[in-house]
Structure 1
Amino acid sequence: STNALNTSGLVGQWSFDGKQTVWTSSTAATTLDTSGQGNTGTLTNMSQSTSPVVGKIGQALTFDGTDDFVNMGNVNSFERTDQFSYGGWVYWTSDVAGGILAKMDASGGTPTYRGYDVILVNSADAVSPNSAKVHMINTWSTNAMAVLTPTNSMSRNVWKHVFVTYDGSSNVSGIKIYINGVSQTLTTQFNALSATIVNTVNLRIGGRYSGVSTVNAPFPGRIDDVRVYNRVLSTAEIADLYTMGTATVNASTNALNTNGLVGQWSLDGKQTVWTSSSAATTLDTSGNNNTGTLTNMSQSTSVTPGKIGQALSFDGSNDYVNIPDAASLRVGSPNFTFAAWIKPGTVSGCGLDSGPNCIVFNKENSYEWAISNTNKISWAIRNTSPGWAWANSGLTALSGEWTHFVITYNGSNIITYKNGGASTNSQAGNGNVDNTTYQNALRIGARNAPGAATSFFPGSIDDARIYNRALSAGEVATLYNAGR
């Protein structure tokens, strides 16, 4: 959810990505501040099973509109004479007013509603229905500023980027609200701020403070990549932030280990393009154009938070991604590397350790790797030795946990790596992979068996890669660490 754009003056950033959001139990988690300021957020009234969702950029959090919020503590306290900017991506799901970001006293506090916020107001608002609203308040409403974007500038069930800048003038003319990178024409509700807006309550995402474990104006929907700056961002900088969330970039990968990369399927939202609720393709970001077609998958159930960004969830019944045969995928002359993050579900329906198992990758009669019904990882390649036969790596992938596996072959030795470390029972191999006799399509999540797909993978797969060379142990460790 983050990148190097616009870090000058950045004093708070919460991407909510998997690497930054650490669960210590099914209902307890913290989310890291990637600005470097250490303003860690505590997830409150949220659940590991329901709160992490696919975001606009990587992973987001979904808020139930009842009692969910993220608490950052008493940080990012600005005065009415300070310059600052704040906002993020929102996906509003209900016709209910809700706070995106707020450092504001509770109603009935002393004084009432002191602080600042940005909220969405619903269709019942008397001033500007379905809009974004900013408050800067000493005492509501006698010593306060409040402005709103145009009626119906905010809509539900769509991602929108909402960002606020304030120049410290204590006048509404110094407030700008941007939606999707465009500065909005604002309606003024109040313009009479002449005293402090500083308070001692906690900064919150997903609503305003109303008590230690309660929330005022709880937000209904998803929030992603929230940022706070101690300066006024320019129009161009805000456009950059918006574009970062809309451009075709790969949130699941980085520039590491691109030498010899012939196929890479991050399965992120930017690369996985749905043309209907059940039809999609996923792009190959290696540059070799090995686009995959999602088969028997659904936009509502197959898209899931990944280890790095977005992943795909396979039902173990008939789901797979089909990638047509191409010269770039005929690896193993003699070298190759296969890599992916996998999170198996229930594997009891998979085959024995000796195969056939539930497939992660399969290019039938050339190469494949899979998981067995005892959670063991195995592989097969068609070469001189061991020939087209399953070999058990001795490594396991626990159900319900993300694990990174890499399999390398250099023409004489096959090594399987788990979470950056090599297996102790590496197997000897000999000869090139036979890519001539059979030139079948590559599949992720199923076997390309003659006549029909079989051996379906149950679980999630993320950042799948194929190289035409054997990565070194150091490169494998680097690849693993990129997703930790």
Structure 2
Amino acid sequence: MTQRCFSIPIVLGILLAGLGRSDARQAVTTNLAAYWPLDSFASNATPDASGGGHDATQSTASKQPTTAPGLFAGALDFDGTDDFLSAPDSPGLNVGSGSFTVAAWVKRGGTTADRILNKWDNTKGWLFDINAGSGGAVSPGFVRIKMSDGTNNVDYFVDAGLSTGAWTHLAATIDRTAKQLKLYANGTQIGTTQTLPAALGSLTNGAALGIGTIPTNAGNNFDGALDEVRLYTAALTQAQVLTLVQPLPPTALTGTPPPPTTPGRSTWPGPRPRARSRTACTAPSPRAADTSRSRRA
């Protein structure tokens, strides 16, 4: 009688091979206006994977970010001096008076004020920053969202507990229908829900979108690595934001999702679950067993 034996860790490894970090690419695609994975930079550009055609470019060699290890494949590292990317003005990048969400994985290389993502003409639009406090004063570890229609302004910042050298997922959701603004760190809301002024109008402008600084007003350039930068034309729910932080499906062993992260520090992606070193064997079918016995007879 022949038995076929195999190691459970081997089988588990095969199962988990399909559950890799690339699953993040499937997270929340509805209302996705632009998505820059930042896996690569070639021919002066990094692609917009949303299908919207909003590739981010930089033609000046000295201002180009460099490729670096990322959370899913690659990331882009910005020098904090003059590196940045921009995408041309487009109706698809203007949120107008509608709801929107901005999100990105960040790994700070210093403690200066840093621009993450913006569409700002110095008067009108929106900014998503790190380390900008009240009145522009530097406040280490803070995350900020600023909006203006040219007359009415919103400037909200919260201590996200950011530190250098660690990946943290940051997101801001702006619900213009409910008139609510929320900030998230690693999928957990930080600060309090803010009420938007009823008079806040359209944020549309003719400026280019910037990653790493304001293209028309360079300064506070991002210092560190950026990954998985996204712009949605809808206010994501907290559950949806969390899928951007923890995109892995349930584990093969427990059927439960990975444990949640805490604000300010990214504990995901972590090590894969370890299986006990057991051996499983396939028993022969009844017919095979009968054949084996008849041969011995």
Fold equivalence (TM over 0.5): yes
Could you tell me which residue of structure 1 aligns to residue 121 of structure 2? Answer: 105
- Please state if 1:217 is matched with 2:220: yes
Aligned counterpart in structure 1 of residue 47 of structure 2, from 28, 32, 35: 32
- State the Cα distance separating 1:123 from its structure 2 match: 8.1
- State the Cα distance separating 1:155 from its structure 2 match: 2.1
1:194-218 deviation line (CA, Å, top 9, x unaligned): 333211000111111325xxx2331
Aligned counterpart in structure 2 of residue 236 of structure 1, from 239, 247, 259: 239
1:278-323 deviation line (CA, Å, top 9, x unaligned): xxxxx8x9x9x9xxxxxxxxxxxxxxxxxxxxxxxxxxxxxxxxxx
- Measured in 1, the distance between the counterparts of 2:119 and 2:109 equals 23
List gaps (5 residues or longer) in structure 1.
Answer: 107-111, 249-268, 274-282, 290-484
- Please state if 1:194 is matched with 2:197: no
Residue aligned with 2:210, SS: strand
8 Å contact from structure 1 (residues 103, 204) kept in 2: yes
Residue aligned with 1:101, SS: strand
- State the Cα distance separating 1:89 from its structure 2 match: 0.3
Residue aligned with 2:241, SS: helix
1:362-387 deviation line (CA, Å, top 9, x unaligned): xxxxxxxxxxxxxxxxxxxxxxxxxx
- Measured in 2, the distance between the counterparts of 1:60 and 1:68 equals 14
- State the Cα distance separating 1:226 from its structure 2 match: 0.5
Identity %: 27
- Measured in 1, the distance between the counterparts of 2:120 and 2:76 equals 21
Could you tell me which residue of structure 2 aligns to residue 168 of structure 1? Answer: 176
> Comparing both chains, which one has the higher relative contact order based on Cα–Cα distances under 8 Å and sequence gaps of 6 or more?
2
Q: Which has the larger radius of gyration?
A: 1
Could you tell me which residue of structure 1 aligns to residue 26 of structure 2? Answer: 4
Within 5 A, what are the aligned runs for 1:113-192? 114-121=124-131, 126=137, 129-139=140-150, 143-150=152-159, 153-169=161-177, 171=179, 174-186=180-192
| C-alpha distance 199-48 of structure 1, shift in aligned 2 (>3 A) | closer
Hey, which of these two has a bigger chunk of strand by percent? 1
Could you tell me which residue of structure 1 aligns to residue 101 of structure 2? Answer: 85
| C-alpha distance 191-128 of structure 1, shift in aligned 2 (>3 A) | farther
Could you tell me which residue of structure 2 aligns to residue 208 of structure 1? Answer: 214
8 Å contact from structure 2 (residues 71, 227) kept in 1: yes
One-letter amino acid matched to 2:73: G
8 Å contact from structure 1 (residues 56, 245) kept in 2: no
Could you tell me which residue of structure 1 aligns to residue 36 of structure 2? Answer: 14
- State the Cα distance separating 1:47 from its structure 2 match: 6.4
TM-score after normalising by structure 1: 0.44
- State the Cα distance separating 1:167 from its structure 2 match: 0.9
The root-mean-square deviation of aligned C-alpha atoms, in Å, is 3.6
| C-alpha distance 153-194 of structure 1, shift in aligned 2 (>3 A) | same
Residue aligned with 1:237, SS: helix
| C-alpha distance 193-137 of structure 1, shift in aligned 2 (>3 A) | farther
- Measured in 2, the distance between the counterparts of 1:60 and 1:42 equals 15
TM-score after normalising by structure 2: 0.69
- State the Cα distance separating 1:66 from its structure 2 match: 1.4
- Measured in 2, the distance between the counterparts of 1:65 and 1:36 equals 29
- Please state if 1:51 is matched with 2:60: no
Hey, which of these two has a bigger chunk of helix by percent? 2
Residue aligned with 1:216, SS: coil
8 Å contact from structure 2 (residues 119, 208) kept in 1: yes
| C-alpha distance 205-225 of structure 1, shift in aligned 2 (>3 A) | same
Aligned residues: 237
- Please state if 1:73 is matched with 2:81: no
